[in-house]
Amino acid sequence: MSTLKFTKMHGLGNDFMMIDAINQTFVPEAQKVIQWANRHTGVGFDQLLMVEKAHDDACDFRYRIFNADGGEVEQCGNGACCFMKFVQNHGLTDKQQLTVETARGIIILRSSENGLITVNMGQPRFEPDEIPFIPTSAEDAKRLTHIVVSGTLSLPLVCVNMGNPHAVILVEDVDQVPVAQWGSVLERHEQFPQRVNVEFMQIIDKTHARLRGFERGVGETLANGTGACAATVAGIRLGLLDDQVTISQTGGDVLISWQNHQEVLMTGDATTVFEGEITL
């Protein structure tokens, strides 16, 4: 029986199974991902991340992401930080800046002397066909609206696409939010035909916000990089946040910058937990 080498990593507690698919053969299968994601009988992770050879000669690598439910998704900010550390630590590159293919486009990763990783997440998108969020107009998607969770419970939200779709909900106190309950309902709400990541944001001041997130196909996580980006963009568009913000999540803090409404930059950390082999 063959074995597969992997590395367990995390970014602010958002954890990953990292696989080098350049120097070993691995064909992702949903059932394997589900089995390995189990925290009692498997490796345990929020997402499985694959490093592959780039299809585009202008890129250094291809980056693929699979949620704990086995589904492939477009983007992951904390995963991108781990991706950078992984390829450096395993001798796949000696570069301090990488151009990487994802399912939703190209991202730029840059490592600093202090060990932190800055990810250029690209420009956010708001059009309904980019969320998708229906029914609505492009103009509606640019301002605060509401969504009915159940009965008469209606929540204020802003829809933002950071390469994957997010619904950002403004709340007074994130500690009082039933994230698992509301998140599971909103993830599969009829207005989100491709499902959605749900972020609950509490504004502390213009430079600081607290966040708890429910990832589609995963559940509540200790941190969510693209969720922090989406929440910052939503707060800035509503005039509630400055263009550089500290987002505090359960697993720790991340710095998000969205200056001049151009690309969103996320600066965070990545930690190796252990190396292992698993039987295929």
Residue ranges per structural domain of the chain:
3-122+269-279, 128-262
pLDDT of residue 150: 58
pLDDT of residue 173: 95
DSSP state of 211: E
The total of other beta-carbon atoms located within 10 Å of residue 57's CB is 5
CATH topology of domain 3-122+269-279: Diaminopimelate Epimerase; Chain A, domain 1 (3.10.310)
**Distant-in-sequence, close-in-space partners of 147: CB < 8 Å, separation ≥ 6:** 154, 155, 157, 167, 186, 189, 191
pLDDT of residue 113: 85
Task: State how far the Cα of 166 lies from the Cα of 74, in Å rounded to an integer.
Answer: 12
The CATH class of 128-262 is alpha beta
3-122+269-279 against 128-262: fold identical? yes
pLDDT of residue 158: 85
Tokens standing for residue 245: 């913000």
pLDDT of residue 127: 63
pLDDT of residue 148: 59
The pTM assigned to this predicted structure is 0.85
- Kindly list the averaged pLDDT for each block of 10 residues, start to end, along the chain of length 280: 93 96 94 96 96 95 95 90 97 96 90 92 75 43 53 74 89 93 86 87 97 92 94 91 96 95 94 94
pLDDT of residue 140: 45
* Percent of the chain as helix, strand, coil, to the nearest 5: 20, 40, 40
Task: State how far the Cα of 250 lies from the Cα of 14, in Å rounded to an integer.
Answer: 10
pLDDT of residue 136: 40
